[in-house]
Amino acid sequence: MNIGAPRRPSPERRVGITPEIAERYLEDGHPVQVEHGAGEAAGLPDEAFREAGCEMVGSAWEADVVVTVGPPGDAELSRMAPGAWLLGLLRPLDEPHAMRVLAEADVTAIAFETLPRTTRAQSMDALSSQATLAGYEMVLEAASRLPRIFPMMVTAAGTIRPATVLVLGCGVAGLQAIATARRLGAVVRGYDVRASAAEQVRSLGASFIDLDVTPQDSSASGGYARPLSGGDGRRLLEGLAPHLAAADVVMSAAAIPGRPAPILISAEAVAGMRPGSVIVDGAAERGGNCVLTVPDEVVRVGDVTVVGPTGLEARPAADASRTLARNAYELFSYLNDPATAGADDEIRAGVTITRGGRVVHPEVLERIEARQ
């Protein structure tokens, strides 16, 4: 099977194959085709791919396996051969009707977003690798906008106290934000509705906030939180308010797959925050955890700055591409192994969205039917 890496339109800066991973595909006997300029935004020039043994082409959508960051447009899809694999970040739970279009084109769609979160699948988990980078970038965004420094410093002019940071939503991105803020010297607190998060937050040296909200066992939902009941939702907003008021920086990364981001920060809570404080809403792409967030805009609410960045994970494009390419190689190798070809294989069933001209993933099918 030949493997293709297309160039994605701006503002996307990542590429699904890097030169070092291309060498691994080639060693396995799979020719690699890379579209001209596909890696430029990630600091990977065409020459690096040529030196790795790749064929540079005008379009990589004709390959047997296309590794992509984002689903194809109509013109790109029209170039794909029936039965070809489309492997990558495809947003199947957010855009289920686009998956039906892929099925009608007889494309086998394989999505990272529905990969089971099991030990065996860790090397293939692109959501986690990209979320790690997003968590790091949230801290840089906050530090660049806060009118003071994160660490405590003892100077000739006296002692500067450390900044107080609150992280809401302590999954992969939130935990990385905690670790990065701690390395910069901030005093960090975290909160997540999932019971398992408390130990993880404390293991990084941060304090965990206890609220009068029923902790969730997320083991049955792939490690993700579930929507809160009305009572718990109200108690959450009320319980977080004093912690928000005490923070210099708030970073949020709470998300539920295929749903709008849960609201954790009310307008009233923002009004009660310290002058000069900053909110970086890492869930802006899904609507935001703060009710005042506007995606890709900076909003000033009194003396509080609310930042709604999207595409945080793509900012360090070189490392984002390297980790994504490794994940894609591991997933392709697993699916291409005859030993995993059984219909009852958990990983294969989890990531396969379309096959044989049909949408075959149960959750995506449910979402298609719900939106008809």
Residue 113 lies in a domain: no
Please spell the DSSP secondary structure of 57-106, one letter per residue.
ES--TTSSEEEEES---HHHHTTSPTT-EEEEE--TTT-HHHHHHHHHTT
Pick the catalytic residue from 117, 235, 348, 355. Answer: 117
Residues 189 and 92 in one domain: no
Q: What pLDDT, on the 0 to 100 scale, is given for residue 220?
A: 62
Domain boundary among 271, 289, 314: 314
Q: What pLDDT, on the 0 to 100 scale, is given for residue 354?
A: 97
Residues 232 and 364 in one domain: no
Residue 87 lies in a domain: yes
Rounded Cα gap, residues 277 and 260, in angstroms = 25
Residue 86 lies in a domain: yes
pLDDT in tens, 41-55: 999 999 999 999 999
Domain boundary among 270, 298, 314: 314
Residue 259 has pLDDT above 90, yes or no: no
Per-residue pLDDT, averaged over 313-330, amounts to 98
Residue 212 has pLDDT above 90, yes or no: no
Pick the catalytic residue from 100, 183, 224, 355. Answer: 224
Residue 117 lies in a domain: no
Residues 217 and 140 in one domain: yes
Residue 112 lies in a domain: no
Rounded Cα gap, residues 305 and 311, in angstroms = 19
The structural domain count of the chain equals 2
Per-residue pLDDT, averaged over 338-355, amounts to 89
CATH code at 13? 3.40.50.720
Residue 122 lies in a domain: no
Residues 45 and 10 in one domain: yes
Q: What pLDDT, on the 0 to 100 scale, is given for residue 171?
A: 95
Pick the catalytic residue from 33, 128, 130, 321. Answer: 128
- Tell me, yes or no, if 355 is annotated catalytic: no
Residue 111 lies in a domain: no
Q: Range of 222's domain?
A: 131-314
Residues 298 and 183 in one domain: yes
Residues 188 and 300 in one domain: yes
Tokens of 199: 């130990």
Residues 171 and 309 in one domain: yes
Residues 283 and 257 in one domain: yes
With beta carbons less than 8 A apart as the criterion, state whether 165 and 191 touch.
no
- Per-residue CA distances from 157 to 149, 154, 160 (Å): 15, 8, 9
Residue 222 has pLDDT above 70, yes or no: no
Residue 221 has pLDDT above 70, yes or no: no
Pick the catalytic residue from 13, 14, 33, 125. Answer: 125
More reliable by pLDDT, 215 or 101: 101
Residue 116 lies in a domain: no
- Tell me, yes or no, if 176 is annotated catalytic: no
Q: What pLDDT, on the 0 to 100 scale, is given for residue 246?
A: 97
Residues 89 and 224 in one domain: no
- Tell me, yes or no, if 117 is annotated catalytic: yes
- At residue 283, φ and ψ (nearest 5 deg) are -100, 15
Convert 329-357 into a string of H (helix), E (strand) and C (coil): HHHHHHHCCHHHCCCCCHHHHHHECEECC
- Tell me, yes or no, if 128 is annotated catalytic: yes
Pick the catalytic residue from 122, 144, 207, 229. Answer: 122
More reliable by pLDDT, 176 or 234: 176
Q: Mean pLDDT of all residues in the chain?
A: 95
Residue 215: pLDDT band with limits 50, 70, 90: confident
Residue 372: pLDDT band with limits 50, 70, 90: low
Residues 24 and 40 in one domain: yes
Residue 339: pLDDT band with limits 50, 70, 90: confident
Per-residue pLDDT, averaged over 257-277, amounts to 94
pLDDT in tens, 105-158: 999 999 999 999 899 999 999 999 999 999 999 999 999 999 999 999 998 998
Q: What pLDDT, on the 0 to 100 scale, is given for residue 340?
A: 84
Residues 297 and 320 in one domain: no
Residues 101 and 191 in one domain: no
